[in-house]
Amino acid sequence: MPELPEVETTRRGIAPHIEGRAIRGVTVREPRLRWPVPVAALDVLKDTTVTAVDRRAKYLLLRTARGTIMLHLGMSGSLRVVSPDTPAAVHDHVDILFEGDACLRLRDPRRFGSVLWFDAEAPLPAVLARLGPEPLDPAFDGDHLYGRSRGRRRSVKDFIMDGRIVVGVGNIYAAEALFDAGIHPARAAGRVGRARYRALAQAIKRILGEAIERGGTTLRDFTSATGAPGYFRISLAVYGRAGAPCRRCGHTLRTRRLGQRATVYCPHCQT
């Protein structure tokens, strides 16, 4: 379940290995990902140079003069740079082979991830066009949340997990940020005041920012681009701690389902 910090950590890990290098070929062992892998489009990328590795929301964007390869890690995806003669393991679905013998390998057991392509001539694809601001961008702040939430009756947790409002806030960080800001996750988005939204936006920025800075991860099974160890888990205040005492007040943390997902919160600190 790569969240935004994992995706950014992955971006930083793979970029030095592939930026400025030409693609030698693409191997697709399993095209049935979240969307079908556009094998034909990828096939003609031989000798095309990846000029930059960008990120938008949880999408990794491999820029070339012809267009962009868009990678999403879904829930279980990981990217590693391996030697081209490394045998492919089960769930190693796609390889992008580069000059200089770097092989970018996508593994994704659950296949919720995706490999997409959009042509340089084509308009911005819908999946990117509808996305809200990046959480660490100055354009995202408490006033943005406040303005977009007026009249909304859905839960504030669902609201901040909506990619049209702000991107990159998954289930784990939503729970953590709401705890930090003292907001009950089931509260209607339209009934959260401006000051509390400012606290919430700051919490989102701080928590995501710290996780990115430390190159850390919330994942049990996250592997870095080189497979190197050394990644540690970010300490989480509420996620995964249902039934345990709140670190702030000692009350027992509760769990409840909200929009199909488990949410942990402190019934005393979050109102």
Partner DNA sequence: AGTGCGGCCTGTCCGC
Partner DNA sequence: TGCGGACAGGCCGCAC
- Other C-beta atoms lying within 10 Å of the C-beta of residue 83: 8
CB-based contacts of 105, cutoff 8 Å, min separation 6: 79, 80, 81, 82, 86, 88, 92, 94, 95
Query: Given the rule CB under 7 A, which of 15-23, 80-88, 176-184, 260-268 is the region that contacts DNA?
Result: 260-268
CB-based contacts of 53, cutoff 8 Å, min separation 6: 11, 14, 15, 18, 19, 60, 61, 62, 63
Catalytic residue among 152, 205, 261, 267: 261
Q: Are strands 92-98 and 261-265 parallel, antiparallel or unpaired?
A: unpaired
Residue 21 sits at φ, ψ, to 5 deg, of: -110, 150
What sections of 33-160 are H helices per DSSP? 39-43, 126-129, 142-149, 156-160
Kindly state the smallest distance separating residue 234's Cβ from DNA, in Å: 14
Kindly state the smallest distance separating residue 82's Cβ from DNA, in Å: 19
Scan residues 151-190 and list those touching DNA (CB under 7 A). Answer: 151-155, 158-159, 161, 163, 167, 170-172, 189-190
Catalytic residue among 2, 5, 135, 185: 2
Scan residues 50-89 and list those touching DNA (CB under 7 A). Answer: 57-59, 72, 74-76
Catalytic residue among 24, 55, 58, 196: 58
148 is an active site residue:
no
Residue 136, SS3?
A: coil
Q: Counting contacts by CB under 7 A, is residue 21 touching DNA?
A: no
157 is an active site residue:
no
56 is an active site residue:
no
What's 32's DSSP letter?
A: B
Q: Which amino acid is at 118?
A: F
What's 36's DSSP letter?
A: B
Q: Counting contacts by CB under 7 A, is residue 38 touching DNA?
A: no
Question: Which of 12, 66, 91, 205 forms a contact with DNA (CB under 7 A)?
Answer: 91
Kindly state the smallest distance separating residue 72's Cβ from DNA, in Å: 6
Residue 100, SS3?
A: coil
Q: Counting contacts by CB under 7 A, is residue 194 touching DNA?
A: no
Determine the Cα–Cα distance for residues 189 and 148; give it in Å rounded to an integer: 9
How many chain residues are in contact with DNA, going by CB under 7 A?
A: 39
Kindly state the smallest distance separating residue 20's Cβ from DNA, in Å: 27
Q: Counting contacts by CB under 7 A, is residue 259 touching DNA?
A: yes
Identity of the residue, 35 or 99, whose beta carbon is nearer to DNA in the bound complex: 35
Residues forming contacts to DNA in the complex (CB under 7 A) are: 1, 3, 32, 34, 57-59, 72, 74-76, 90-91, 109-112, 126-127, 151-155, 158-159, 161, 163, 167, 170-172, 189-190, 239, 259-262
Which residues have a catalytic role annotated?
A: 2-3, 58, 261
